[in-house]
């Protein structure tokens, strides 16, 4: 059932006296290259925005527009935390994501009283938290964090594209698209690739797997045309 992104969780917390609430989300966790970026956002209590939603559901132009709206508000507090590919390889992507989230919270101008986190709980974490599955579609605070994290990371990937133009990072942002895997197979990994990720170590295998998923296997006809053979 569709639920509009709103302040349900924030209102429940404010009703029990929690005043300063941050939303936190990440971008780049599933990419094969580049950093993981987390954003923490504290929205003003009377904040309203009719089009703010999970960043993945927004067109890039709208996402940029909302990003500028958010960061230009003087009564809105935000910060980002960044963990690069070297650290991701060293400590693994889950720990790196949590480290970026903690860094984003620590970088805020003042510490919130409670944090709403997209997904599962982050342990350890310095503050009280509420983890919300699909929180970026439910909480405006988390949705705002998702937009800021996504736009900040996309800009970093466009900058990396000028350093490593052969990989077309500005188009796929480091995710495992067919285009990226082809480039990876042709040129090998560059300094921002996550070498602990199997598709980076074995790009041809990953590409073949992607093509196999995209192409349905040919079926041998059974005795009656159009019916598959029974399983052995």
State the pLDDT confidence band at 222, using cuts at 50, 70 and 90: very low
d(CA 156, CA 148): 12
The pLDDT value given to residue 203: 66
| Residue 127 pLDDT > 70 | yes
The pLDDT value given to residue 65: 94
Q: Are 183 and 160 a contacting pair, CB within 8 Å?
A: no
* Residue 189: Cβ-neighbour burial (10 angstroms; 0-12, 13-18, 19+): middle
Q: Where are the alpha helices (DSSP H) in the chain?
A: 8-15, 60-71, 85-91, 93-106, 140-163, 169-172, 178-187, 198-201, 203-214
Nearest to 168 by CA among 176, 158, 178: 158
| Residue 84 pLDDT > 70 | yes
Nearest to 32 by CA among 217, 157, 186: 157
Q: For residues 163-177, give the mean pLDDT.
A: 97
Percent of the chain whose pLDDT exceeds 70: 86
SS3 call for 23: strand
**What b/e sequence results for 48-82 when a residue is b if at least 16 CB atoms lie within 10 Å of its CB, and e otherwise?**
ebeebbbbeebeeeebbebbeebeeeeebbbbbbb
pLDDT tens for 17-49 read 999 999 999 999 999 999 999 999 999 988 988
What's the chain's average pLDDT?
88
SS3 call for 64: helix
Q: For residues 197-218, give the mean pLDDT.
A: 68
* Poorest-pLDDT segment among 76-85, 168-177, 218-227: 218-227
| Residue 226 pLDDT > 80 | no
Partnered with residue 77 across adjacent β-strands are 42
């Amino acid at each position: 059932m569709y639920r509009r992104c709103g302040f349900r969780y924030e209102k429940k917390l404010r009703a029990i006296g929690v005043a300063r609430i941050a939303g936190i989300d990440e971008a780049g966790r599933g990419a094969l290259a580049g950093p993981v970026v987390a954003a923490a956002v504290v929205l003003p209590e009377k904040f309203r925005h009719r089009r703010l939603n999970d960043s993945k559901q927004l067109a890039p132009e709208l996402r940029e527009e909302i990003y500028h709206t958010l960061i230009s508000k003087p009564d809105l507090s935000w910060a980002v935390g960044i963990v690069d590919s070297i650290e991701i390889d060293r400590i693994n992507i889950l720990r790196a994501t949590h480290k970026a989230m903690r860094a984003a919270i620590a970088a805020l101008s003042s510490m919130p009283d409670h944090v709403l986190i997209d997904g599962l709980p982050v342990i350890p974490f310095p503050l009280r938290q509420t983890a919300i599955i699909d929180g970026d579609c439910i909480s405006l605070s988390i949705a705002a964090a998702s937009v800021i994290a996504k736009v900040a990371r996309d800009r970093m990937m466009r900058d990396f594209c000028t350093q490593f133009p052969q990989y077309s990072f500005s188009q796929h942002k480091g995710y495992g698209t067919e285009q990226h895997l082809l480039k990876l197979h042709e040129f090998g990994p560059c300094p921002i690739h996550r070498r602990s990720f199997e598709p980076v170590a074995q790009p041809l295998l990953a590409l073949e797997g992607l093509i196999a998923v995209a192409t349905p296997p040919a079926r041998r006809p059974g005795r009656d045309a159009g019916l598959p053979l029974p399983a052995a």
